[in-house]
Structure 1
Amino acid sequence: MEHHVYFWLKDEFKNDEGRARMEAALTELVKSPNPASGHWGKPAATESRPVTDHSWDYGISLKFNDLESHEKYQKADPIHDAFSGGHREMWAKVMVMDLD
């Protein structure tokens, strides 16, 4: 399964210091042992079309070998807990989309 999360930063974190903090946190998050692989990024510079959304600031994509690994990541992963607990105040909006 795949776990995709999109983050919109609060205005006060849309600066060099806030972006560096978010990028360092995402880099640590992909080191979690539960996903089989993962990466993060910013919106690609693709053409604006009615079906594209470039409004978010950061996205992360994690691939899990099975639902059990995903559940462990969500409920008992200290790296995930540190990320969500330590940076939540930065986010104006978060959207999660999971693929089977």
Structure 2
Amino acid sequence: MNETNRRTFLTATAALCAGTVTAAGPFPVAGKKYPVVHHVFFWLKNAGNETDRKKLIEGVKTLKAIDTVGELHVGVVASTEKRDVVDNSWDVSELIFFKDLAAQAAYQVHPVHQAFIKNYGHLWSKVIVYDATEV
């Protein structure tokens, strides 16, 4: 095997192993397990408005200050393959990991979360929440 093929093989193998480790176990993030996941999708009132999208992203990032939030990931629609099963109609998403249901419940009533709703709620027309727990 020449050096170029060897590097390609090793790079591909390392990527595959990293993906396997990431996918192993229930909701692992940064070496920790968070058995409760809170995934929220937002649709902007002004669809396609970049200023509103940036403002909402800024607001979602404030939720990291809540002490019961284990991990927070903020996302926008990815440019992936268009398929019937893929919903790319939303504008911003938040994915929050919690250590347990009590932590998620505390998050819901936390002043930072309530301030987020008050200060940024005018930006969205629709919100859908998917909560999941480890099985």
Q: Is the 8 A contact 1:30 1:39 kept in 2?
A: no
Partner of 1:30, secondary structure, is helix
Misfit runs of 4+, over 3 Å? none
Q: Is the 8 A contact 2:75 2:94 kept in 1?
A: yes
> How many percent identity over aligned positions?
36
**How big is the alpha-carbon RMSD for the aligned residues of Structure 1 and Structure 2?**
1.3
Residues 21-60 of structure 1: CA distance to partner in whole angstroms, max 9, x if unpaired?
A: 1121111122321111111110111101010000000000
CA distance in 1, matches of 2:121, 2:79: 26
Q: How many residues align?
A: 98
Residues 62-90 of structure 1: CA distance to partner in whole angstroms, max 9, x if unpaired?
A: 00000000000012x11111111111111
TM-score, normalised by the number of residues in structure 1? 0.90
Partner of 2:65, secondary structure, is coil
TM-score, normalised by the number of residues in structure 2? 0.68
CA distance in 2, matches of 1:51, 1:99: 20
Residue number in structure 2 paired with 1:7: 42
Consecutive unaligned residues in structure 1, runs of 5 or more: none
Higher relative contact order (CA 8 A, sep 6+): 1
Consecutive unaligned residues in structure 2, runs of 5 or more: 1-35
- The correspondence of residues 20-35 of structure 1 with structure 2, limited to 5 A, is 20-35=54-69
Residue number in structure 1 paired with 2:116: 83
